[in-house]
Chains A and B, each alone.
Chain A
Amino acid sequence: MPKIKKKGQAGQARNYITRTKAVKKLQLSLPDFRKLCIWKGIYPREPRSRKKASKSATASTTFYYTKDIQYLLHEPLLQKFRDQKVLEKKISRALGRGDVSDAARLERNAARPDKTGKPRYTLNHIIRERYPTFIDALRDLDDCLSMLFLFANLPSTSAVPAKMIARCERLCLEFQHYLIVSNSLRKSFLSIKGIYYQANIQGEDILWLVPYKFNQRVVGDVDFRIMGTFVEFYMTLLGFVNYRLYTTVGLKYPPKFDQLKDDQGAELGAFALEGVNIATGEETKAITNGESEHGPDPKVQAEVDKLVQQLRDESNEKTEEAQAEDADGDEKPSDAIDKFEPVAPGGDVLPQPSYSSSDPSQLFSKFTFFLSRETPRQPLEFILRAFGCKRIGWDSVLGEGAFTTDESDPSITHQIVDRPVVQAAVSGEGDGEDNQTAQKLGPNARYPGRVYVQPQWVWDSINDEELKSPELYAPGAALPPHLSPFVKPTQGQYDPTIPLEEQQTEGEAIAAQLEDANEEDGEESEVENDMDIAEDDDEDEDEEGESDEVEEEDEEEGSEEEDESATLQRQIELEAEISGKSVQSKKKVDAKTKAKLEEKKALERRQKQEAEDLERAKGMLSKKKRKLFEQMQYTNNKKSAEDMKLREKRRRLEKEKRA
């Protein structure tokens, strides 16, 4: 006789554990358990059968894997939590006894990370445990960055200590510095929520959101203790990630931080990166403006120039020699990928990483920017620097660290402006002489030889990896729509970048043309008619192929309809003959609309046929598969309905624009 199996001894009943039981098993308080779960990355699971997993009569809400909890049992942090608990108990007991001095002494020993932002424990081992490789850590960096950037912009409260905010800000700026140095920022997007950035580090795409520089409002019930726990973990994580990133590009971490500059609002400029090889010491880069020699005394400048000139000459000579060598000798070995060209036709073409003529990371390298005081300085500075710009100036109100605060600096090539064009008489008088005399210009006045653009130009340029035409983004101009670079075009989905004609369905096209035709009855624009005809022909051809079989089946109806249309056509032709030329055009239009109508009918017929076929095929599916199929169809139909709505709106808008 086999052993009798007892209920609740194996299987799901053993594999899952409720939260209450887990807390009891770990001998922790619920907040401590929560912390531990957050740090260790333990999350609830959904048992396949809740009934089997729970032993109690009441419905438990949260289940964990028993093995996960067992794993938590060996966590060294557990002891820290318990110690802390003991300490708290001691303090409260001392206070109960009225022994204030004892309580104060114990209180001094207590680590209060929620107040000081500095715990007594470290989370290093947890990070190593959760992310065995660096790539794993990078993969999980999305939430980390979004969170830290948000906290860097929060006002300090009792729940969010100022030190924590400062630390978040510092870590974020250090990370930004890495992105600038390594040119790994790829895309950015101005959304209504904030600014999205996407970077590619070691092949991992990292996307994060940075809020606009406003005071963040906290509404609703937000538990900052939970967020604080996350931030604590993320701060440690980003610290180590930063260290690793800095060392990979040969920089020392942490970079030198200038408190004074930071107090003056230099932000990125408050850091000075230095190479790992400290002995040389010369590698210290003034990250801010590549132009550390900007504004030294002219003598030194002259000497330096001379030296530079000499060096340049030498190097020129060298390069010339080298070129000569190259010409007669072999090609220089390089570590770049070679381009494979098919020698003989017939072979498959394999995709290769393409060499664009210009490196997108050096998009702005040749320019000097000036940011007007109404533009958001931080994101612009970061993006411009990440895309190779070395010299960025801004109005002194925007903080320390500018290349120049003088708007009239002649080296400025681009100025980013975000203010409306003032429609006033001032523009008339302010153009001429004021330019030379006054430091500040009139509202609409421009410095000659400078490109004035709105901020969106920067974003659109980096997303398309090419400099957009500045005319479109001129101050006061109606901006072209700002599109998300993260949307991957999928087949059949609405894409605002493609003209409507290329993506609308046949039925829509016909309906639209019909509408047009109806409207055009009065107007008769010949050109468009011709176009329509051309399109029609194409579609006709398409349809004929498909509708062959259809017609066999629906012979009766189809033939009737055809007969009708034929008689109608005849009638019209006859009428036309009688009336003469004047009606010719009308007749033509009529004929065209009729053709459209016919097309529409054919289309409907075909659709009907397809639906029938579908039904037939669905009948052959098993019940399970049919349900799945119907579900999929439901979502697809929903999507396509949305797309259709968008196309409709766009058609209407376009029509309005034309009118």
Chain B
Amino acid sequence: MGSKLTEKKRKAREPESDSESDNELANGLFDGVLSQSEDEEDYLPSDNGDDDVDDSESESEGSDGSEDGGEDDDILSDDIPSDVDGEEEISKLVKQQQELEITEPGVDPKRKDDDGEEKNYRIEKDANGGERYVYDEIDPVYDSDDSDAQGPVNTIGDIPLSFYDSYPHIGYDINGKKIMRPATGDALQSLLDSIEVPKGWTGLTDVNTGNPLNLTQEELELVRRVQMGLLPNEIEDPYPDTVEYFTSIEEKMPLSSAPEPKRRFLPSKNEAKQVMKLVRAIREGRILPYRPPEEREREEEEQEEQHFDLWQNEEPQAPNPLHIPAPKLPPPGYDLSYNPPEEYLPSKEEREEWENADPEDREKPYLPQKYNALRKVPAWGSLVNERFERCMDLYLAPRVRKNRLNIDPNSLLPKLPSPSELKPFPTVVQTIFRGHEGRVRSVAIDPTGIALATGGDDGTVRVWELLTGRQVWSVRLNSEEPVNAVRWRPAKDSFILAAATGEDIFLMVPTHASVTPALDQASRDVLAAGFGYATNGQQQALPAGKEPPAKWARPGTKLEDEGVLVRITVRSTVKVINWHRRGDHFATVSPTGQRSSVAIHTLSKHLTQIPFRKLSGLAQTAAFHPLRPLFFVATQRTIRCYDLQKLELVKVVQPGAKWISSFDIHPGGDNLIVGSYDKRLLWHDLDLSNRPYKTMRFHSEAIRQVRYHKGGLPLFADASDDGSLQIFHGKVPNDQLENPTIVPVKMLKGHKVVNKLGVLDIDWHPREPWCVSAGADGTARLWM
């Protein structure tokens, strides 16, 4: 309470001092008013720094005073009323001020606190005479330590004051006490106000306090400056000149007393280098002196392209082999003329066809046209396009060197001998031999060329007169099995026919008109000689228990009467008989016979030998070499040639066929033809290679038999299941270096195909260009 009291006292004293000071200023005319206004001013919420300064000054003044007085206050606390003049007016004012102080915003209390902080002690002299700080006693009231204690503040919140217009108070303080409306001037006061506008009068009312809002001179000045767009507070020069730390003032005295270096007055080498660089660049034209662009352009235009003899020291180079020069465009033909011969003009249909065709499909990109005068010729519309196309071709078309054969196509054809040279060869069927029941399996013409022997499915062997086709002799060898092969003994001193049926081989002497009794007897002797040998000469003693490869016997009286004189029985069915050229040996092949499939029979000794212990593959056919002691055996795929004297393998011929059906050796001995079931006819030159020299595929079915003409004519023929014979001209030159000429000359068709079998066998006449074929249709035919 005491402090409050002191404050009150102090405040109470302040006006005094103020008034005193004011008194100094004014002559105390409106004493009260001024003090009032002063007070009011003091209470303004928006105080300027200046004011503060003034205030603090004034306050410090006051405080100084109060301090001095404070001691007194404290001491003479009770004396206050006494101390203060008992004037009621003053006490009233103090009260008023006290109330006003409550409403004062918390600036002043702070100040007061500051004041308090500063001066909440006093210095006394202690016993020693030293200074001694004696602090005030702390008043332990409620809120006493609240340094932020604020004065009475209206707590009504953010509502217009007008709500309280009808009340004497304007709101409530924090303690819920009414804050009374400040006394407004009465009529006189307001009149006075209107007459004399006080300094800083604005005519506005402070929202918070309800007092008229007055502004100080400084505040007004500030407002004015802001309105004028000036700086809010007055500074003399917002942009003062910079003060340079280092001036450009040349020093009179040198900093260093060293003598000037030599480089200062020698020309710089580096610079000289740089300059030379530029000079060089200018000389070389890398840097051009500046010229205005127009002038430069003009100069460039004037500058003609420099021409010189580019090929002055030309040296021809060999053209790069990889370089392909662009082909030239073909020169224009007659049809491009503006006035072509009339036959070049397109007819109506041609024109329509051309017009309807797609431009890409047209053979020529233009149609010939005729203009009867040069002046009528129009511009060619697509000339630019054509040139463009050419350009594109030149740079974009891949160039390929194509070897155009600018030759007559006929020169490709082989030089065939003229037809007259090829002649004679069989062309037409001369005789048809009918009589066999079922297929005719084999045919053979006797060495004299008069008689023909055939063997067929009916098990008979028949002998015919070749030219007339008359059957002269016939014998049934076997009623069940067909006669697979008939072959005449090649020697002319006898008339012996060998025929194979089943596992038996019969040797016979047919009766024929041309056979003289002497010849007949000679033949019988030849056949009988072996019997004598067999009985007289010792047959090779066979190991016991081993069956001989063949049995030679007489076939029986019935057959012997017919002329069949010898029967040889081997182990399996014989398919092929081939005589040696001398007629003493013959080979038989029975493909199913496994190791005894090939047998060589000696007629004079009635001996049968099996030359091969083992044979790779099924033996198909075998033959003797016409001149040398060689023996050929054909298996399915290969033909092996053995030397009969040295008993060794000489050669293996590989025709490449899948299944060899037959082969024949050229009478010259160096060439071989092979027929195969896979429709191929192959010519081998034995000296050349073991591979075929020519392959001919002219048949649509398997080839059954191939034959050379043995009588000196360059002919060979093959028989096929397609029912045709093909006659070839095959000339083997005497000169070893030349290749044989092979010319197909004739296809002989006549045999019917029965059960997919056509012609089964073929044989040539020993001298004439005639051949005989055996057909599956039951006939044999003579072609001449």
Contacts and interface: CB of A to CB of B under 8 A. Distances in A.
Nearest to B423: A552
Contacts of A374: 375
A217 B339 contact: no
A134 B372 contact: no
B738 interface: no
B309 A617 contact: no
Interface in B97-135: none
Interface string B316-351: 110000100110110111101111111110010000
Pick from A43, A254, A376, A649 the residue with the most CB of B within 10 Å. A43
B415 to A, nearest CB: 9
A127 B166 CA distance: 115
A127 to B, nearest CB: 6
A636 B409 contact: yes
Given A133-B316, A196-B332, A212-B380, A239 B305 contact: yes
A621 interface: yes
A38 interface: yes
A32 interface: no
Interface stretch (B152-160, B396-404, B675-683): B396-404
A194 B380 contact: yes
A535 interface: no
B414 to A, nearest CB: 5
Contacts of B377: 190, 192, 212
Interface in A89-133: 108, 118, 122, 124, 127-128, 131-133
A253 B307 contact: yes
Contacts of B342: 481, 649-650, 653
Contact of A617 (B300, B304, B329, B416): B416
B307 A481 contact: no
B332 A486 contact: yes
Contacts of A455: 374
Interface stretch (B225-233, B247-255, B381-389): B381-389
B409 A632 contact: yes
Contacts of A137: 311
Nearest to A139: B325
A482 B388 contact: no
A193 B416 CA distance: 50
A479 B385 contact: no
Contact of A454 (B308, B373, B390): B373
A133 B311 contact: yes
A191 interface: yes
Nearest to A374: B375
Contact of A219 (B339, B385, B412): B385
B399 A192 contact: no
A146 B391 CA distance: 11
A204 to B, nearest CB: 11
A628 B383 CA distance: 36
A614 to B, nearest CB: 8
B397 A621 contact: no
A14 to B, nearest CB: 15
B419 interface: yes
A293 B374 CA distance: 34
B412 A625 contact: yes
Contacts of B394: 38, 43, 143, 230
Interface string B739-774: 000111000000000000000000000000000000
Given A214-B378, A244-B311, A549-B419, A142 B383 contact: no
B374 A62 contact: no
Given A44-B396, A62-B398, A620-B743, A211 B380 contact: yes
B513 interface: no
B392 interface: yes
B282 to A, nearest CB: 17
B533 interface: no
Nearest to A240: B310
Contacts of A218: 384-385
Interface string A41-68: 0011110000000000000001101010
Nearest to A124: B310
A215 B280 CA distance: 52
A620 to B, nearest CB: 5
A424 interface: no
Given A484-B331, A620-B416, A621-B412, A240 B338 contact: no
Q: Which secondary structure dominates chain A's binding surface? A: mixed
B374 A216 contact: no
Contact of A192 (B311, B338, B390, B419): B338
A303 to B, nearest CB: 40
Interface stretch (A76-84, A221-229, A431-439, A580-588): A221-229
B385 A222 contact: yes
B395 interface: yes
Interface string A636-650: 100000000011011
Contacts of A647: 343
B201 interface: no
A533 interface: no
Nearest to B697: A619
A418 B336 CA distance: 21
Contacts of A549: 418-420
A632 B405 CA distance: 9
A73 B487 CA distance: 83
A118 B388 CA distance: 22
A383 B392 CA distance: 31
A239 B317 CA distance: 23
A134 to B, nearest CB: 4
A418 B396 CA distance: 43
B404 to A, nearest CB: 10
A30 to B, nearest CB: 12
B413 interface: yes
A128 B339 CA distance: 42
Pick from B325, B333, B343, B378 the residue with the most CB of A within 10 Å. B343
Contacts of B315: 132-133
A37 interface: yes
A456 interface: yes
A226 B372 contact: no
A28 interface: no
Given A63-B398, A132-B316, A218-B384, A211 B379 contact: yes
B380 A45 contact: no
Pick from B311, B337, B366, B369 the residue with the most CB of A within 10 Å. B311
B379 A484 contact: no
Interface in B566-614: none
A483 interface: yes
Given A483-B334, A616-B744, A46 B339 contact: no
A647 B315 CA distance: 51
B314 interface: yes
A425 interface: no
A65 B322 contact: yes
A418 B373 contact: yes
Contact of B379 (A67, A189, A216, A420): A216
B293 interface: yes
A118 B311 contact: no
A633 interface: yes
Pick from B326, B377, B743 the residue with the most CB of A within 10 Å. B377
A292 interface: no
A189 B380 contact: no
A419 interface: yes
A211 B308 CA distance: 30
B698 interface: yes
Given A146-B387, A632-B405, 19 more contacts: A34-B395, A45-B398, A132-B316, A133-B311, A134-B311, A140-B326, A150-B383, A150-B384, A190-B339, A212-B377, A217-B379, A227-B387, A240-B307, A420-B373, A483-B341, A619-B744, A628-B405, A628-B412, A629-B409
13 contacts: A132-B316, A133-B314, A146-B387, A192-B368, A212-B377, A212-B379, A219-B384, A244-B310, A374-B375, A418-B373, A454-B373, A496-B343, A553-B419
The 8 closest A-B pairs by CB, nearest first: A214-B379, A486-B331, A632-B409, A649-B343, A650-B343, A191-B336, A496-B341, A481-B341
